[in-house]
Amino acid sequence: MIKPTQLVTSLGLLGSLATLTAGQIKNVLFIVSDDLKASALGCYGNKICKTPHLDRLAARGMVFERTYCQGTWCAPSRLSFMHSRYEGSQGKNMGEYFRAQGMHSARVGKIYHMRVPGDIIAGTDGQDIPSTWDEKFNTKGAEAHTPGDYACLNLNIFTDKLENRESTGMKNRMFVSVNHEGDGADQPDWKAADKTVELLNTHRNKPFFIATGFVRPHYPSVAPSKFFDMYPFAKMPLPKVPEGDLADIPKPGLARTTSQKSGIAKWPDNQKRMWAAYYATVTYMDEQLGKIMDELDRLELTDSTAIVFISDHGYHLGEHHFWQKSNLHEEVTRVPMIISAPGLKPGRTQALAELTDIYPTLCSLLEIPIPKSVQGRSLLSTLKDPGARPRTGALSLLGGSHGLRTDHWAYMKYKNGDEELYDMKTDPGQFTNLAEKKEHQATKERLLTLLKERIKSASLR
């Protein structure tokens, strides 16, 4: 296949790509949701949360059912997938490299790390890397200060007053929800969708890489009332937590925020309200995605654009009594990833994948060389055949500790030497740590050897 830049040069039609053949991939639309756990989505089996537009994207693309993040919170994860590096920022980032191939690169919203809510309220760049983009647009919002019914659920506070709300840098901000009075037009994700639609129209006739970052469902859980109305809190099931569940989890494996430490353990109904608010923001985000997909179809760009949808990491909402992220358990490390590309059949795959694999996969789809600095692997073979398995394991990192997910096992090796081992076939909820069981020592040693090999190959500490 002739590359777009080669075709343009050979025909002497600089600035015009009208003669590209049907089905040829020349554009990339990269969409990142924030703090979105795979298990919250309809296309990943959730029976409660409504995500019709993600389901529509899943029906036209490849659903990677077992994708894992490398960083377990926003900043390291986003730096990692934008460079396809396990740590650091060696080499050209994805946007910088695509710019060098003649693509117009644009950012809308949060791609590299931004403080939410801080940088969203201020409209500032956060840890953005300017070399990635030809143009960039921040999406401001009032966040917890949005008018509406406010709740700080771990403190059991409910009010419609704007004063004294938990916000930037405040310790209870992750338990805040706002049932918004308006239609959502003043929210950052609505603005991100509108700006993306504008960019699609502006750059429709030349190769583009547009990266759109939604901030929901990241706290505070702000969404219009119609989305909260979809999820009556009393009907929300809470995750099963067996008696004594934490007894076999070593200290480094415990989440920093727990039901007991935060105080929300006293309020079971408020835990249900947390789930309802999370789902409300997921569905609100999904509606904004739908606007972008509709415009892509209307402009007849679908047949020339690869679409990638991911989250930066997953999230705990009371599983194991854990809340938030920054640990190596499945609800945090497993993320959604859907790749829709012209000329490739839709499907679902159990192939293990990492977020580091996005960069080289897009290079393969665009038929451009994969930079030597890239550490991920192209998933093109799996996009063509869901049974293809480019990886035997997926690696996640947390401050000198490491998690390894294989087809059968989840293994964690902490910086202090502590370990966790779970049989994911029989114990997908990770309730029984097998690391000290005699009958599993051979399995643990095999996984430790594989983990050491991965750490060495990735040049990790």
- What's the token pair of residue 244? 């004594």
Phi, psi angles (nearest 5°) of residue 425: -80, -45
| Contacts of residue 280, Cβ cutoff 8 Å, sequence gap at least 6 | 177, 221, 223, 227, 228, 230, 231
Low-confidence ranges of the chain (pLDDT < 70): 1-23, 461
Distance of CA 455 to the CA centre of its chain: 23
24-457: CATH class: alpha beta
Tokens 């408020």 belong to residue: 270
Residue 298 to residues 175, 197, 301, 340: CA-CA distances in angstroms? Answer: 39, 11, 8, 17
Query: Token pair of 341, please?
Result: 């590309």
- Residue 247 exposed, middle or buried by CB count within 10 Å (0-12, 13-18, 19+): exposed
Q: What is the pLDDT of residue 22?
A: 42
Adjacent-strand bridge partners of 176 = 152
How far apart (Å, rounded) are the C-alpha atoms in residues 244 and 263? 19
Which long-range contacts (C-beta less than 8 Å, at least 24 apart) are formed by 414-417? Answer: 414/250, 414/252, 414/253, 415/252, 416/252
Per-residue pLDDT at 24: 86
Sequence spans of domains, the chain: 24-457
Both tokens of 90, joined, read 């060696």
Q: With contact defined as beta carbons under 8 Å apart, do 162 and 141 qualify?
A: no
Q: Give the model confidence (pLDDT) of 332-353 as tens digits.
A: 999 999 999 999 999 999 999 9
For residue 62, give the nearest of 431, 423, 381, 410 by alpha carbon: 381
Structure tokens at 123: 């409209």
Supply 164's token pair.
Answer: 């004294």
pLDDT at residue 281, as a whole number: 98
Q: What is the pLDDT of residue 461?
A: 62
Q: How far apart are CA 143 and CA 235, in angstroms?
A: 26
pLDDT in tens, 218-228: 999 999 999 99
**Helical H segments across 101-207, by residue range:** 118-122, 188-202
